[in-house]
Structure formats: C-alpha cells, structure tokens
Amino acid sequence: MLTEERHVIILNLLKEKEVVKIHELTEVTGASESTIRRDLTDLENAELLRRVHGGAAKVSRKRTEPTMDEKTNLFSEEKRAAGRLAASLIEDNDCLFIDAGTTTLSMIPFIQAKNIVAVTNGFDHLRLLAEYGFEAYCTGGRLKESTKAMTGTGAVHGLQQYWFDKAFLGVNGIHLTAGYTTPDPEEAAVKKEAFKRAQQSFFVADASKFQESTFAHITELDKAIIVTGKITDNLRRMFEEKTDIKEALT
C-alpha cells in the first residue's frame, strides 16, 4: 500500500472515531508499527492530526488553513483523480467558474472541451488557463497570499458581471450537518456568489475534507454535487443519502 493511501485511511478513520490506536491502523493497513508511527509523524507535521499515547486524535481547525504551497503535496494523487473527473464534466461551449485551490487547479490540464470560457479567482489558475489556450477572466479583488485566491468585495463584485453553466468550487469542509465550509468568510462570500450564479455547482475535494467543518458556511450539502477521489464505503453511504457524489475510482 502506498504512503498516500495509508494517510487517507488514517484520516478517514479519525473522521469516524475521533481517536485511533496504532494497533488498529496496523490491522487496517497491513503496515508495521514503525511505518504507522512514521505516517502519524508526517500527518502531525502537516497539522492534520495530533499524536496521543498509542495512537492519534483528530484536530479541530475552524479558522486555520494550510498555505497553497503546503496543500500542493497533500493527497496529490487523489486531487489529480478528482480533478480529472471534474474536467470530464465540462462540455463544449460551457461558461465556467473555477475556484482557487489545489484540487481545482489540478482540473485544468485535463480539460478537453472546446470553446469554453472560464472565470477564476485563482492567481495560479489564471496563468495555467492561459498556458492551455483557454479564454480566461479574473474576478479581481484582493490577493490572499497564503492561498493565492482573489477575495473581498472586489472579487464578489467582479463575479456579478457573469452567469455560469457550471461552477467548480474548492472547499475545506464537507459535513453532513454543517454542509460546505471554509475558514475565511471573505473566501466563503466569493464561493457563495459563484454558486448563486451557476446553473450547476460542483465541490471538488479529496477525501480528507469529509466530515470536517470550518468557520464560514457556503451552502447546504444537498445543494451541490461532490466530486472526489476514492472514499471509504462508510463515508460514501453516509453522504449519498444527502447528496450526489461523483467518485474517481482510479
């Protein structure tokens, strides 16, 4: 089993149990205790869990968010799979909003549709869209250095010029009761405006975002479709009762 696959399993178990023991993780993953201890150290260094005696505990991060650089290498294969699946949902002549974030950024190289127009609040997204020859517009607004996202009233007002066939949104928390959330109210306001202006909205996220909730609410769970990498059977059953999920199985 790959390191990244073990990390996903560990974090998904923490979503379900709050605390997991090393012996449980060795049984589920088939890895040795020393390997699991290294995994827990890596995930603690990434601030995704807290080490406790004999195992690990879930951390609560309502207002904190990793930087764009920190997020780039987390769950990269899952993000790539989710991005590829999200890109396959784009049709010729679509007008799109593509939100800032590492998972939505991974969509762009996989877009095959022709004659699309994309609006983005992502600094890196705008550059990559241009590199791939797509017609692209920037929302404007204040650049948030840590996430490379355009935020604030300028970004919201910029979005009010447009209507979209589809919006592809990033998210920090996907929760059964809290819905879709993000730590920054200014970023939440941009996502809400894009969501309001799209005929169809997709939240594109890796499995680590499930059963997480952060500070600022975006919308209710059943109002959008989730596009993700592979998730556990238990998570799939819980969330399919509330909304549609498109899962990249490879």
Note the pLDDT tens digit of each residue in 206-228.
888 898 888 899 999 999 999 99
**Whole-angstrom Cα distance, residue 250 to residue 39?**
23
Note the pLDDT tens digit of each residue in 40-59.
998 888 778 888 888 998 87
Q: Which amino acid is at 175?
A: H
- For domain 68-247, say whether CATH 3.90.850.10 is its number: no
pLDDT at 28 over 90: yes
Q: pLDDT category, 137, cuts 50, 70, 90?
A: very high
Q: Which of 225, 247, 222 is nearest to 236 (CA)?
A: 247
The residue that leads in pLDDT, 62 or 109, is 109
Note the pLDDT tens digit of each residue in 86-130.
999 999 999 999 999 999 999 999 999 999 999 999 999 999 999
Contact 130, 136 (CB under 8 A): yes
Q: pLDDT category, 62, cuts 50, 70, 90?
A: low
Contact 150, 141 (CB under 8 A): yes
Note the pLDDT tens digit of each residue in 166-211.
999 999 999 998 999 999 999 999 999 999 999 999 999 988 889 8
Structure tokens at 230: 């592979």
Position 250 scores a pLDDT of 63
Domain boundaries, the chain: 3-57, 68-247
**Whole-angstrom Cα distance, residue 58 to residue 50?**
6
Position 68 scores a pLDDT of 55
Give the architecture (CATH level 2) of 3-57.
Answer: Orthogonal Bundle (1.10)
Position 58 scores a pLDDT of 81
